Amino acid sequence: DQRTGRSVGNDDNLEPLPTCAAPAHCRCNSLSSHQKLVAVFVISGFYSMSSNASESLGTDRHMEIHTSQIQRRTRSQVWEHFEVNLMQFDGELKAICKYCGLGLNTKSGTSSLRGHVANSCPTIDPSIRNTFRASISKKPAEQNFMFDPIACREGMINFANHAEIPFLKFEDPFFSPWINTMQPTFKVRGRQTIHNDCLKKYEEMERDLQVELLSLDSCVSLTSDLDILTEFRLHVTAHFIDAEFKIKKKIIWFKELEYPHTGYAIEEEIVRCVIDWEIKDKMFTLTMDNASDNTSACELLTTDHKHDLLFEGKHLHIRCCAHILNILVQDGMRIIHTAIDKIHELLKHIDSSPSRLQAFNSIANGKGLPSKHGIYLDIPTRWNSTYKMLREALVYKAVLNSYALKYYEAAPSEDECEKAEAICEFLKAFEELTLSVSAHREPTEHKFLPLVLCIQHALKDPAWQTTNLLKELAASMCSKFEKHWEPSEDNHQTGANSHRNNKEIAFNIALVCKDNDQMDLEWMRKYFAQYEKQHPRTGSMNTMTRANEPSVTKGSPLVGKRKLEDEFNEYMSQMIGMRASRSEIDEYLEEKAEVDRRF
């Protein structure tokens, strides 16, 4: 207490408190209640203060400094880098760094102290700083943690599957000792045990997927292709929407196809797949490349199993749009195949030897172009790779000419380079369209119709047909376009028009389908009717049965009211019957389209 000079408490035997050593500079009257309480503790002996300890730490202002001799609760490792005694500056207790002498406030914890030692201290030894950083970066162990060898083994299996780790790596002589440094009680299994565990995990995931597919109340769309690089294996991918309305895709089949690889063999393998997964009655569409064997397989599938398919398999087969784009590009490239072949052979010659690639890079560096680690070559089975090869060749055109002249190789002429440059700009549009329809994490069916219109306009637009070569190219690709994309592809049009942001029915269908627009709209209504049949709506909440109504005695005033309601209901039924029946799909088609520039 400042008035009595005694400490606050009930003990009257305490010695009188000393008065302030510097009354002229005393700031007791300007302190808050909390600071006054701290000052009382400091003066009363909880902190043995020295009134003569006053010094300047690089500032010009006067600071009152008091030292503390009490042993604090220094549980944090950061206190090893600070002085034991706290110093008081302007009424605040601060910790003093042992290396630079900076005072830091500890009122809110030790976060500022850790940050100073780890990052800010200018005079700390780097080895000490690194050791401290390593000590604070470790995450504290969870309370009541118990090591579970089964969970650890399962986590190892998940890691091996996801990272595609070879089983032999688990028998590495340094792997087991490394695990022992973390958990000596865990026994690392051999490659055969890891192999068996991975197979068990695969079978477990397969059962879970089969249960999920069986519980679906929607259809499943399939995509299939023949992988010629792995012993002609047929792989089938299932695309579906789960109960949480999320798009999923799962590879459900990857098995070797029996020889000969005819449409009959492909159809048998696909039927075996859908029967094995029990999704035959849920199969909606089957997307395949535009090959004659694939078309034959879909025709056989529709003929033999039409009673199990939606609308008897009328729209089962969907041809891959990206593959058709590749066919269009390859067909158009035949016109300038001479120039493309020269560029391809020259690039292939350079890429066939490290010394030739080194010579090519030397010429490129001399012309201010970056070095190449490899040359991009077009591949017939890789979609639109010709565009990427031409784009790269045109950038290094001067380098290719210099290399061909120096090493006596055939190079494209200036006229052929001009043709390649003119066609490269046109191929850029096909590259963008291919990437647009090749997405696998989002729906792409609704993009088909605008895609067809873009290609059709580009092929018939005379603005870019400035030379005879481009006119011949457009004519060749236009004939192939009309052959592959006919107006009868109702499944594509239905998918495009059902998307909310592309719902310009009359415009899109009139441009592509001409006189078949009413037929396509009728197919949309059939699809929606089938959807309503599979997912019927619940009864209206406004419908009430007479059984739930209270009984009415004869002569009650409610009788007249009820009779009036019955007459009104009969009148409304007659009025509704006079109108043409309108379904929800009709109301949807008449709504105003919402234009979204992202699509």
Domain ranges for the chain: 47-137, 149-202, 216-319, 342-485
User: Each residue of 196-250: pLDDT tens digit?
Assistant: 999 999 999 999 999 999 998 888 999 998 877 667 888 899 999 888 888 888 9
CA separation, residue 431 to residues 386, 503, 513 (Å):
10, 25, 26
3-state secondary structure 522-568: HHHHHHHHHHHHHCCCCCCCCCCCHHHCCCCCCCCCHHHHHHHHHHH
Hey, what CATH topology would domain 216-319 get? Nucleotidyltransferase; domain 5 (3.30.420)
What's the chain's average pLDDT? 73
So what's the pLDDT on residue 517?
Answer: 54
So what's the pLDDT on residue 76?
Answer: 77
* Residue bearing tokens 């239905």: 494
Strands lying side by side in the sheet with 103-105: 87-89, 92-96, 103-105
So what's the pLDDT on residue 472?
Answer: 81
In degrees rounded to 5, what are phi and psi of residue 278? 60, 45
Measured between alpha carbons, how far is 80 from 74 in angstroms, rounded to an integer? 9
Burial status of residue 209 (CB atoms within 10 A of its CB: 0-12, 13-18, 19 or more): middle
DSSP 119: I
Q: Which of 38-42, 285-289, 485-489, 512-516 ranks highest by mean pLDDT?
A: 285-289
**Which residues have CB under 8 Å from 135's CB, separation 6+?**
77
More confident of the two residues 576 and 426: 426
User: Each residue of 441-484: pLDDT tens digit?
Assistant: 777 776 777 777 777 777 777 777 777 777 888 888 888 777 77
Largest CA distance in the chain: 115
Measured between alpha carbons, how far is 326 from 331 in angstroms, rounded to an integer? 8
Structure tokens at 426: 């046109």
If you average pLDDT over residues 264-287, what whole number do you get? 90
So what's the pLDDT on residue 200?
Answer: 93
pLDDT confidence band for 576 (50 / 70 / 90): low
Q: Are 113 and 78 in contact (CB under 8 A)?
A: yes
CA separation, residue 487 to residues 100, 491, 503, 563, 565 (Å):
81, 11, 18, 56, 52
Displacement of CA 6 from its chain's centroid (Å): 70
Structure tokens at 401: 């000419």
So what's the pLDDT on residue 534?
Answer: 65
Given a cut of 80, is residue 160 above it in pLDDT?
yes
Least confident segment among 142-151, 259-268, 504-513: 504-513
Measured between alpha carbons, how far is 283 from 218 in angstroms, rounded to an integer? 9
User: Each residue of 370-383: pLDDT tens digit?
Assistant: 999 888 888 776 66
In degrees rounded to 5, what are phi and psi of residue 199? -65, -40
Given a cut of 50, is residue 13 above it in pLDDT?
no
- Omega into 260 within 30° of 0, i.e. cis? yes
pLDDT confidence band for 182 (50 / 70 / 90): confident
Beta strands 247-256 and 283-288, pairing class: unpaired
Least confident segment among 100-104, 204-208, 292-296, 591-595: 591-595
So what's the pLDDT on residue 558?
Answer: 43
Q: Are 589 and 505 in contact (CB under 8 A)?
A: yes
